[in-house]
């Protein structure tokens, strides 16, 4: 197996973008309970995002 530094950098950039964009809608959901916020974001991350990315 050969290493591919460009792929590693790309995957880190995608991961950083995904982690940073998690908090983007925080101003819109200030009044939500944290459980509701985590449930919605969890569903988006575990169900919607894989379908969109695939």
Q: What are the extents of the domains in the chain?
A: 5-53
What integer is the mean pLDDT of 36-44?
81
CB neighbours of residue 21 within 10 Å: 9
Max mean pLDDT among 11-20, 21-30, 32-41 falls in: 11-20
Q: What is the pTM of this model?
A: 0.52
Report phi then psi at 21, rounded to 5.
-75, -10
Map residue 14 onto helix, strand or coil. Answer: helix
* Rounded distance between C-alpha atoms, residue 20 and residue 8, angstroms: 18
């Amino acid at each position: 197996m050969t290493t591919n530094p460009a792929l590693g950098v790309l995957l880190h950039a995608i991961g950083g973008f995904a982690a940073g964009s998690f908090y983007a809608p925080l101003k819109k959901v200030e009044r939500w309970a944290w459980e509701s916020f985590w449930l919605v974001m969890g569903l988006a991350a575990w169900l919607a995002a894989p379908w969109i990315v695939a």
